[in-house]
Amino acid sequence: MKKKCFTGGMIVFVLLAINSFQVKSQTEIVEFIQGGIGDGEKLIQAYLEPLGNGMGANLNGGWYNTAKVHRTLGFDITFTITTALVPESATIFDVTQLELQSVELKPGDPPLAPTFAGGTDRGPALILMMGGLDQPLVDFNTPGGVDVSYYPMPMIKGGVGLPGGIEVNGRFMPSISYEDMNAYLWGVGVKYDVLQHFRLIDRIPFLNASLFGAYTIINFSSDIDFQKSIYGSEIDGIPITGGQANYDNQRLDINMQGFTTSAILSYDLPVITVFGGVGYSRAFTTVGLLGDYPMINSQIHNDEIVVLIEDYTNPVNLEFDNFSGLQTSAGLRLKLAVVTLHAKYTRANYNLITAGLGISIR
């Protein structure tokens, strides 16, 4: 089958920054729907959760390196790489815990399957039985993963100060096409100086405190190729009938969104800044299979079993939460004239390491 890269946006990032991990074939991921839409959605979610968790954590990271708010029309342009660290427990999932309704684990196969972050070998076989016969209608193995335990996300962020102790931040990547893939990213954040309302505390030298909130979205879209030939031409001598000759309107859309709020505190000396933050983050992923897809089915007609292909339009529209909860961060920043260097560590569902280089004019 034709192999395709899973996230066009990450390929764009490879061209813009050093980002080397390979991503999985979309055709392999769409194979999960062979056993039915309901079970297919459960399997897709379990498989993609580490990617959604990692990328979602990245979307909520890398926004700040100080609590200090720019003066009016002060600005910064900062390049960051935020890397989500995938825990070992997220590299596998147990298919028997998904409460699958149509497909079942092949007898003798272990129940543990690799997630997107897991090993590259394919997982256990799943079987959809033919109605009325002790014969598999579909027999397929779960796909392997990328065997990568970290997900880096490079970004360029800009911030500008406004009157009233407000700083507006933005991230943006225009819609970019690579082969048959398309990706875009944008985000917006607001930082607010809270010490301006506490004059006694505001007089403490070098101390800054602010509130911050942000939203980021990244979307990947790509053509895929899932044809009825995957089922073969017959099953136990019964010909497979029906379906289109060719399916050429298929597309996979993956959308990830992140929301974060933080209370930030920093001690900004002339050269070095120590900063930290605590707040709430949420990320979620939506997965859509758009277009027409061949689904196999068996029926009894005139006391005979008939195996046929039925076409389903837009069969998968899946949304699942990746993370919702507390995150804490701590880091250091060096400022040499207008050039800044910073590093930060964030504890969340997937811990983050962030490093950045920027230009800041207060």
Residue 198 belongs to domain with CATH number:
2.40.128
Give the model confidence (pLDDT) of 190-229 as tens digits: 999 999 998 777 778 899 999 999 999 998 888 888 999 9
Q: What's the mean pLDDT in 93-98?
A: 96
Residues near 144 by beta carbon (within 8 Å), at least 6 away in sequence: 24, 28, 114, 118, 119, 120, 121, 122, 123
Question: Is 242 within a domain?
Answer: no
Bridge partners (DSSP) listed for residue 160 = 75, 168
| Cα dihedral 353, 355, 361, 362 in deg (nearest 10) | 20
pLDDT band, very low/low/confident/very high, at 129 (cuts 50, 70, 90): confident
Question: Is 1 within a domain?
Answer: no
Distance of alpha carbon 41 from alpha carbon 38, whole angstroms: 5
Distance of alpha carbon 113 from alpha carbon 121, whole angstroms: 9
Residues near 349 by beta carbon (within 8 Å), at least 6 away in sequence: 53, 57, 322, 323, 325
Distance of alpha carbon 234 from alpha carbon 88, whole angstroms: 41
- The mean predicted confidence, pLDDT, of the chain is 87
Give the model confidence (pLDDT) of 326-354 as tens digits: 999 999 999 999 999 999 999 988 999 99
Q: What's the mean pLDDT in 43-53?
A: 92
Give the model confidence (pLDDT) of 273-322 as tens digits: 999 999 999 999 999 999 999 999 888 777 788 889 999 999 999 999 98
Give the model confidence (pLDDT) of 238-286 as tens digits: 899 999 999 999 998 999 999 999 999 999 999 999 999 999 999 999 9
Question: Is 297 within a domain?
Answer: no
pLDDT at 342: 97
Count: domains in the chain: 1
Question: Is 296 within a domain?
Answer: no
pLDDT at 27: 56
Question: Is 252 within a domain?
Answer: no
pLDDT value at 159 more than 60:
yes
Question: Is 304 within a domain?
Answer: no
Task: Indicate the pTM of the whole model.
Answer: 0.86
Give the model confidence (pLDDT) of 10-38 as tens digits: 444 444 333 333 345 455 788 899 989 99
Give the model confidence (pLDDT) of 96-111 as tens digits: 999 999 999 999 999 9
For residue 98, the enclosing domain spans 8-222+257-289+316-361
Question: Is 237 within a domain?
Answer: no
Question: Is 37 within a domain?
Answer: yes
